[in-house]
Structure 1
């Protein structure tokens, strides 16, 4: 395996690994270890270039620094990406090589599941590193973090609805869910149980059929999800979907979802506010999964610890939206300042 350092100002370490035998091409980005070892999932995606993969890894790693800090976890921010098609290129050998790559960083970075990576995949990586979490077995195995992520999103969405719609009760509300992956599907379950109406989209036909069958979801084309008549727009797919173009189409009054890096650029927060749309900062809302993984990393077997941390995400969201509303400041600016204060005092 060949491992080389990549230049990334403002990041502690960014490395690229390639392995001819397994076909591995992967980047691990460590943004900060100020609060503890970097932790963040591994994403497998068919990136067009290494540079594209690097950009995604950098954005995600920085997001993890903020997510972990906002969740009051003693962990820094890092992320890994594998350049491959998860439906065609994934093999046990590939994931085992990735495990060796993680191990080479000697504990400065812990990996777990993310888009395109399952519990079974992480188990393969864990055969060659002790710095993998989200495992289903072992004394502290936390399993799939997706349902915990979804629960946190659901709790924070209720808070956002209180500020953006006038009531935290989601019964009868219409939620536009973009993405029916692991987290999106679990979120739909929470929403359906609450009596919400679901409009959903995905490129996976099997997921679409499941959402229709289980939740009586109305299905629309991927490009049509932005313009549907909905109370809340929940991005639960890849990042950057809240862009100038999509904002111009949104009819929802609240944006709250599970995706990372939802805002396509720095101007989008203001564009949302200009349309009277309330944005619940993504890295606060979607922190449930890393809390679940953190329990495994920190060797905490008490489920009450996880539950309390996840419920605290809703409290933090409430504090952020309350301050943003009272002072007429963009919510993500309040969230960033909240985390910057934590990091400054570390």
Structure 2
């Protein structure tokens, strides 16, 4: 356990259970140099407890890097609740989780994530003030999508010489809350959309509303396009898939798109520009962080504009240093988190 924490550079790892509600939860706190840890709460089934712990640790590290480059006064954390096969009272389970968060004294602030909703955050908030993305604060997904859209424009400018989306072929893998909102923005800008999702209903909706072209999930990565936008779960870019890509750039909302750091170097070698995911998808984090401290929407929107500027800066460094943008982003984040 401690060797895993050391490898991920975690500051703390908290475990809690509540037999009465079925709660089994993990909170990983990666780094609090810049402020209290902030990160979403996942509610998913896992094959075993170690997988849940590894997921929390990996995601917490990404949140630290994301917060650092987004310029907000927070460190990175992540919560995972292992979804039981049967739960008698979902609200009671999340209330128990809220009591657990409260025992941490503000070192971790939670938010919605895969498998959780603003209603779940409302239950948590009954027992702690260290919760955001409640129904009163609003869904962060549209703001994540706005940030990704801005980042895609910056990526198109860097790789294709223009930020005009008109006629660009953009392949979106995953049409959840963020993926679909992104598709709407790209459609409005004139992009040609290729879409896939495990839910055929979401694909059909995109076809009917946005004129998208449906592509089988297993075929999307090999379909020719200008920009591939992974917007599902992580690990989509791996040793098996990276050689099959037929795109000029990868820029999407999914966390942890690279199965390993070396994949970034393979993309660079193939001439595929990679937008570091935690820079591109920081809009949701910016929204929940600033809303939690009472900022107005105008200030949040202004801060979202920094995503494309940061990405453009990273691309310039990468070109000058002849390195992958992912390596450059990691170096910039680590300098902020750990010092020079």
TM over 0.5: yes
CA distance in 1, matches of 2:77, 2:303: 20
Q: Structure 1 residues 90, 33: closer, same or farther in 2, change over 3 A?
A: farther
CA distance in 2, matches of 1:309, 1:168: 20
From 269, 272, 284, give the equivalent of 2:267: 272
Q: Which residue is equivalent to 2:252? A: 257
Q: Which residue is equivalent to 2:133? A: 134
Q: Give how far 1:8 is off.
A: 2.0
Q: Give how far 1:90 is off.
A: 7.6
CA distance in 1, matches of 2:255, 2:281: 8
Q: Which residue is equivalent to 1:180? A: 175
- Kindly indicate whether residue 11 of structure 2 is the aligned counterpart of residue 16 of structure 1: no
Q: Secondary structure at the match of 2:246?
A: coil
From 303, 315, 321, give the equivalent of 1:321: 315
Matches of residues 217-236 of structure 1 in structure 2 within 5 Å?
217-236=212-231
Q: For this pair of structures, how many residues does the alignment match?
A: 338
Contact 1:62 1:77 (C-alpha < 8 Å) held by counterparts: yes
Contact 1:68 1:287 (C-alpha < 8 Å) held by counterparts: yes
Matches of residues 2-81 of structure 1 in structure 2 within 5 Å?
8-9=5-6, 10-81=9-80
- Structure 2: gaps (5+ residues): none
Matches of residues 174-213 of structure 1 in structure 2 within 5 Å?
174-213=169-208
CA distance in 1, matches of 2:85, 2:280: 26
Contact 2:31 2:337 (C-alpha < 8 Å) held by counterparts: no
Q: Structure 1 residues 85, 179: closer, same or farther in 2, change over 3 A?
A: farther
- Kindly indicate whether residue 267 of structure 2 is the aligned counterpart of residue 282 of structure 1: no
- Structure 1: gaps (5+ residues): none
Q: Give how far 1:5 is off.
A: 10
Q: Structure 1 residues 85, 284: closer, same or farther in 2, change over 3 A?
A: farther
- Kindly indicate whether residue 100 of structure 2 is the aligned counterpart of residue 106 of structure 1: no
Moved more, 115-124 or 66-75: 115-124
Contact 1:7 1:14 (C-alpha < 8 Å) held by counterparts: no
Q: Secondary structure at the match of 1:184?
A: helix
Moved more, 235-244 or 16-25: 16-25
Task: Tell me the TM-score normalized by structure 2.
Answer: 0.95
Task: Tell me the TM-score normalized by structure 1.
Answer: 0.93
Q: Secondary structure at the match of 1:248?
A: helix
CA distance in 2, matches of 1:223, 1:206: 17
Q: Give how far 1:136 is off.
A: 2.5
Q: Secondary structure at the match of 1:41?
A: strand
Q: Give how far 1:214 is off.
A: 1.5
Q: Structure 1 residues 341, 90: closer, same or farther in 2, change over 3 A?
A: farther
Deviations 1:22-41 (A, max 9, x none): 11111100001110000001
Moved more, 163-172 or 308-317: 163-172
CA distance in 2, matches of 1:101, 1:296: 23
Q: Give how far 1:169 is off.
A: 0.9
Q: Which residue is equivalent to 2:329? A: 335
CA distance in 2, matches of 1:69, 1:266: 19
CA distance in 1, matches of 2:146, 2:164: 15
Contact 1:5 1:15 (C-alpha < 8 Å) held by counterparts: no
Moved more, 281-290 or 158-167: 158-167
Q: Give how far 1:250 is off.
A: 0.7
Q: Give how far 1:206 is off.
A: 2.7
CA distance in 1, matches of 2:213, 2:88: 32
Root-mean-square deviation (CA), in Å? 2.0
